[in-house]
Amino acid sequence: MESPRFTFNPKEGIDNPAMIISDDNELDVSLLPRLCHLKRLEGQSFGFMLTQQSGGNFEISTVELWSPAEAGGLREGDRVLEVNEEDVGHWDFSRVVKKIQSSGFHLFLLVLGRAELQQALSIGLDLQMLAKASKGDGCSRPRLCHIRRDPELGLGMSVASVEGPKGRYAVSTVPHGPAERAGVHHGDRLIWINGLLVSAITNSALHRTVKRSGDALTVLVVDANSEACYARRKVPILPVMAQGCGLPHSATSMHLVRGDNGYGFLLRQERLAGSRRIVHVLREVDAGSPAAGAGMEDGDLLLAVNGEAVESAEHEDIVQRIRQSGDEVVLTSISVPGRDFFRKLDISPLLFHELTPLTTSAQGGEHFHL
C-alpha cells in the first residue's frame, strides 16, 4: 500500500498550513509541533523531568505545578524535537541535558504532544519535516558574532534603521571586512549589541554604543527572512538560540587522571574583586601534575565537573563530586576575562561548549530533573 502523501507550503509555515493527505483529506494543524518558551529566575529550575525512552527519544515525563515549564506550555508526554532551535533527534541523552542546563534563564523546546505524535507516526509523517513546517522555509538560527576593529576599515559595517516598527536596524558590511570575517552578512538585521537589545534603546544610543565599542564589538544578527519568520511565530530572538561566530573566549574541558600525589591542584572559594559574587577558583597547579599536563591554569574559574554545571553549587558539594569521581574526572573551566565577557552578554559560557561526561547514557530509562 502506498504511504500517504503529505504536502505543505514551506514559505508560509504555520500561518498557511496547506497540508493534505491523498484524496484531499485535510490534516489538522494541531499535528504541528509547539514551541514552548520557558523563562526561569535565578536559582529556579525549569520544573520538568526529561526521560529518554527506548530508541533514544526524549519525552517530558513530569511537569511541576506553577513552574516555568507549566507556564511555558509544556505538557507531560510531549516528545522533544528541538532544543533552542537545534534538532536533537540524533543526540545522546547527556548532550540534551547539558544543552538545557547551559541555557540560562531562557529555554526553547519544540515539542509534539503524545496524541499528535501517535497520529503523525500512524500516517507516516516525518517529524523533521513537521518541525520545518512549523517554522517556514529558510528560517535560520541567529548568529552571535564578535567583530575586531581594523585600524583602517574599523568594524567594517554600518547600521541603518529599516521601515516598519521602531527599533529595527539593518547592517551594511564592507566586502571581506572585519564584520564579514566575523560572520555578519550584508543585510542582516541587528538584534543585540554588546548585550543590549537594540529595539529597547534609542537610535542615538545605538550609534553611541558602536562608536565607543573600543577594539571589538559583539552583535547578535539574523538574516531578514529569518527575522520575519521569528516575528510570524511570535518568538523573541535571543542569544541562547544563536550560533557562536569568532567569540574571543571559550570554556575548556580537561580530562584528569589521578597521579600518586592526586590531581595536583587546589580548589578555592573566593570573592571576585569588586563584586559580591562567589566563584570557585583553580589554584596552586603543581608543575608536572596531571592538572598541569591537562592544561589547567592557575586562577581559572571552575564551571563544570563531569559535565555537570557547578557555578552555583556549594563549595563542599563540588569537592565531594570530584572525590566521588574516583581516579578520573573531567573539569571544565574558563579564564576570569572569559567569564566577564559572557556575563556582560548575560549568557552562560557553557552555551557554546560541548560538555563531556566520563560516561555516556544508555539507550532508554534515563531521566533528569531540569
Q: Of 220, 212, 78, nearest to 154 (Cα)?
A: 212
| Beta carbons within 10 angstroms of residue 302's beta carbon | 22
For position 127, what pLDDT does the model report? 86
Q: How far out from the chain centre does Cα 46 lie?
A: 15
- The domain defined by 252-352 folds into Pdz3 Domain (2.30.42)
Measured distance CA(370)–CA(365) in Å, rounded: 16
First to last CA, the chain: 43
State which amino acid sits at residue 235: V
Q: Of 246, 244, 248, 249, nearest to 180 (Cα)?
A: 246
For position 5, what pLDDT does the model report? 40
Residue with cell 541587528: 190
Architecture of domain 143-245: Roll (2.30)
Measured distance CA(225)–CA(13) in Å, rounded: 12
Domain with CATH 2.30.42.10 in the chain: 34-135, 143-245, 252-352
Over the chain (370 residues), the average pLDDT of each successive run of 10 is 41 41 51 92 89 86 94 94 92 89 91 89 86 83 94 90 85 94 95 90 86 89 93 91 92 92 91 80 92 92 90 90 92 92 87 70 65
Q: Of 86, 88, 62, 87, nearest to 75 (Cα)?
A: 62
For position 8, what pLDDT does the model report? 40
For position 19, what pLDDT does the model report? 42
Which helix H or strand E contains 6, and what residues bound it?
Answer: strand 6-7
Integer CA distances (angstroms), 126 to 31, 32, 36, 81, 226, in order: 11, 11, 20, 12, 23
The CATH classification number of 34-135 equals 2.30.42.10
Return the DSSP state at 238: -
